[in-house]
Structure 1
Amino acid sequence: MRENEELRAASRPVTSAASAMTGARQDELDAIDPGWCPVWDTGWQRCYWLVHNHVQAGGTLPEAAGDVVVQGKDLGRWVTAQRFGWEQRLPVQQWILENTLKITPAGEDERPVKQTQDTKWAPNLAAARQFHAREGHPRVPRKHLEHPEGLGGRQGGADGGVVVKLGIWLDNVRKRAAKLPEQRRTDLDQLGMPW
């Protein structure tokens, strides 16, 4: 950045001005935040400072999505993302998070359980059965969303319940019909699934 200014002052060619910043602009940014780093995502830096200011003002460190929202930024979601994405942070970012906000990487026991095809099948089948019971057929429009009753606790619905993209799921199942286990095919045949 400053090298480009020196080259310009000496009437020498500058290799690229695309990412160049004037010295005055860099000084202005340093005055606002001496820890500002032009290679870090500005969104990351903004959220860091929002969390930092919240904690400095006496607030507790937000731990879950929706705990604290400031200037339209969900600080709890950001803190969670830092903990679960620790490996993607630069060592200096990790140091800053640990030493200024006391944020530490998520432990193995905190990691969310990865869903398998078996755990995904049950809510999708429940949604198909519910649609069939209500409509009397399994011909679901591709963009249809179904909210199976009694399956709360997963993200997606306005009330926090399960939302199944039923039309897309059934289209995908039809395309993979030859690879379906016999029991799954039987479950769908009972609903009159058009293959």
Structure 2
Amino acid sequence: MNGLRAHDVFNTERQDWRRGVEAALRYREREGDLQVPYDHTEGPYPLGRWLSDQRRTFRAGQMTGERAAELEELGIVWDTADAAFETNLAAARAYHRLHGTLAAARGAAILDIQVGQWLTNVRRPGGLGKDAVRAARRAAALAAIDEDWNPAARGWTVDWQRHYTYLTQLLAEGTRLKAITAGVTRHGEDIGRWLATQQRDWARLNAEQQARLGALGITPARVVRARQTPIKTSATFTSVRGAEAFQTGLQALTQYLEREGGGVPGRSHIEHHPDGSEHRTGVWLANQKARRDRLDHAQLQALAELGVDWAR
């Protein structure tokens, strides 16, 4: 009699397990996950409460490996506190597949999730949770997607990491480094202008930043200083007014190169001086090229020192 009762209890428990698994399968197929509210019933079956009981059994170490594997195959999250994290982590993976980095701008969104804001939050002190073991597990999950997911730990900003990643992608795709000038963009970011800034402000970068850029063949911008005294002019360009105009143009071009780190301005470029005045540097440079045979050696040399190819 007692044996029969034990057998009946065993069969009842096994039947309840199968009913629970089948209800979980129906829910997952319909909803796409097993994030089941505690009070949810799948038809007449109390699925939410049943899943809660299974999590408690699992935490107590009383669940067989076979049953645990069956629930995991259905997509159960053993720790419900991790459910939201897993949802956002999935969005982070999708963002990384598209951008190759987790250095998302704060306003970035994907899969209807504000992934940029979420990443900003988890990078903050304590953002991965107060439990040290859980925080370490979450950090490892993010690092598995992108080892540079938290740029502050490296000593630079999310913005720097994002631009650096896009630069490496451009180069990997075959874009020549010299061709990455202001106006060359990726995902809406001006990588050329950013690159020029890094070359100009090289001394402000830390050793790791310099090493990463150096590995891409990037070097600091050549420091170009304006002449302190007007250059000497020949008889072909003797007017005081003409000499002053040339000197003004030379200084404007120098200012442009110091800021941009190289290249020459386009014809439409207007340089703004600190005093608020403007100089049509692009037109001025085009005019100098047109009258190259009327420039003396000192003027050509001054332009050549600034990197103007046709003056050499």
Q: TM-score, normalised by structure 2?
A: 0.31
Structure ranking higher on relative contact order (CA contacts 8 Å, 6+ apart) = 1
Rg bigger for which structure? 2
